[in-house]
Amino acid sequence: MEINEFLVKVKEVFEDTDVQLITPKSIFRDLDEWDSLTALSLIAMTDQEYSVKLTGDDINISNTLQDIFEIIKAKS
Amino acid sequence: MTKNTFSLKGRTILVTGASSGIGREVAITLHHFGATLILNARNVGRLKEVQTQIGEDKCTTVVGDLTNNDTIAKIIEACVLLDGIVHAAGVMKLLPFKFITPEALSEMMNVNFASPIHLTLELVKKRKIAKESSIVVITSISGSVVGSKANAMYAASKGALSGMIKSMAIDLAKSKIRINEIAPGMIRTEGAIIEFENTVSNEEILKDIKKYPLGTYGSPEDVANGCVYLLADASRWVTGTKLVIDGGFTVQ
C-alpha cells in the first residue's frame, strides 16, 4: 500500500483545495476545506477504497495525512 | 366520572425495534398505560430483558429481522387482533451523498421504509388490525421536515414513510384505522450515539446540541409519550399527521 495512491484519493475528497497542499506532512485539520462533511467523506472514501473503517477517534488522534495513512495500513 | 382517554388498558399493541432505544422505551411506557405488548426485534437477549421487565403475562416476543418474510409470517401468527402498532425499527448510517452506492441506498430503503410498510400491509390484509386501531410510525425530522449532513439515504427513507402515511391515512380511514408519524429530532439512544461517536467528533456533537432551542438532545421517553397520545382515544380524530418532537429545532 503506497502513500501516493492514498494522496490521489485524498485530493478527490478535498476537491476545492490546491493539490500542492495535499502532502504526507499536511495537517489536514488546518486546511480551509476541513469540516465535518470532509471528515465524513474521508471516512466514506477509506471504507470504499480500502474496506477499512476509520473512526472519529482515529481522526482525533491524527495530525497529518501520513498519520491517517498509517492507521489505514494498520487496520488493513 | 370522566373516562381516562389516555389509558391503553385492554389494548394489544405491536412494537418493532423493541429491544433498544426508542422501541424499548415505547414498549415499557405503553405497558405502564395498561397495554399488552407484542414485541419484535433482532436481538433475542435484549428483547428477553425487555420482556422480563414488562412481565411475560403482558408481553410476548417475536425475534427476527423484518426484512425477512419468515419474521413477518411469525409476527402475523403471533397476533390475534391488534389495537395498535408502533414502527420503531430502523437503522442509521451517515454517508456523504457523493459516496452513496446503489447497494447502500437499497439497503437503507429496504430496512427503514419497505419493511414497516410490508409488515403493515400483511397485517391489514390478514385482518389482524382492529377497526378504530392506531398505527404510529417513528420517522425523523431528517427527511420528514429538514435535511441533514451526510444523511441523504436515511432522510430519503423517512421522507418516503412520511409521504406514504398521508395516503395510507385516507385509504385506512374507511376501516377507522388511524396512522400518524412522530418525527423526532436527535434522540439519545445506543443506536444513534454509537453511529455518531464513531464518525463525528465530540466537538461537533456539542455544537449540534446548542442548535436545539431547549438545549439538549431528546430522550426515548419524549417519543414514547407521544406514542401514548397517538395510540389512545385522546387522538381519535387525528390521522395522517406528523407530531414533531424536537426541542424546537425545526421551528427556527
* pLDDT tens, residue by residue, B28-68: 999 999 999 999 999 999 999 999 999 999 999 999 999 99
Cβ–Cβ < 8 Å for B41, B21: no
* Cβ–Cβ pairs < 8 A, chains A and B: 41
DSSP output for B195-237: HHHHHS-HHHHHHHHHTSTTSS-B-HHHHHHHHHHHHSGGGTT
Cβ separation B199–A37 shorter than 8 A: no
What pLDDT, in 10s, does the model give residues B128-183? 999 999 999 999 999 999 999 999 999 999 999 999 999 999 999 999 999 999 99
Could you report the per-residue pLDDT of B75-119, keeping only the tens digit for each? 999 999 999 999 999 999 999 999 999 999 999 999 999 999 999
Average the pLDDT over B179-207 and give the result: 85
**Taking 70 as the threshold, does the pLDDT of residue B26 lie above it?**
yes
In angstroms, the Cα distances linking B191 to B13, B21, B197, B237, B243 are: 23, 7, 10, 33, 22
Q: Is the dihedral of CA B8, B9, B15, B21 positive or negative?
A: positive
Name the 3-class secondary structure at B66: coil
Nearest CB to A40 within list B94, B101, B197:
B94
Question: Angle formed by the axes of helices A65-75 and A3-13, to 10°?
Answer: 110
Q: How far is CA B79 from CA B84, B96, B119, B146, in A?
A: 11, 40, 12, 36
Measure in Å the smallest separation between the Cα of A63 and chain B Cα atoms: 14
**How far apart, in whole angstroms, are the C-alpha atoms of residue A22 and residue A27?**
9
Cα–Cα dist B36/B11, whole Å: 6
ipTM value of the model?
A: 0.87
Check residue B195 and give its pLDDT.
Answer: 76
Q: Please indicate whether residue B192 or residue B61 has the higher confidence score (pLDDT).
A: B61
- Distance between CA atoms of B226 and B198, rounded to whole angstroms? 29
Tell me the three cell numbers of residue B147.
Answer: 435535511
pLDDT at B47: 98
Q: Record the cell numbers describing residue B108, joined without a space.
A: 437503507
Give the pLDDT score at B140.
97
What is the arithmetic mean of pLDDT over B1-23? 94
Which chain A residues have a beta carbon less than 8 Å from that of B193?
A: none
- A5 half-sphere exposure, CB direction, 13 A CA radius: 7
- CB within 8 Å: B198 and A44: no
pLDDT at res. A26: 95
Q: How many other C-beta atoms lie within 10 A of the C-beta of residue A75?
A: 14
Q: Which of B97, B14, B22, B108 is nearest to B62 (CA)?
A: B14
**Please, which residues bridge with residue B142 across strands?**
B146
Look at residue B1 in the predicted model and tell me its pLDDT: 61
* C-beta separation of A19 from A61 below 8 A: no
- CB-closest option in B98, B198, B204 to A55: B198
Residue B180's SS3 state is strand
Q: Torsions phi, psi of B148, nearest 5?
A: -155, 155
Grid cell for residue B115: 419493511
What pLDDT, in 10s, does the model give residues A10-69? 999 999 999 999 999 999 999 999 988 999 999 999 999 999 999 888 998 999 999 999
Residue among A61, A45, A66 at smallest CA distance from A3: A66
* Nearest-CA distance B45 → chain A (Å): 27
Q: What is the pLDDT of residue B203?
A: 79
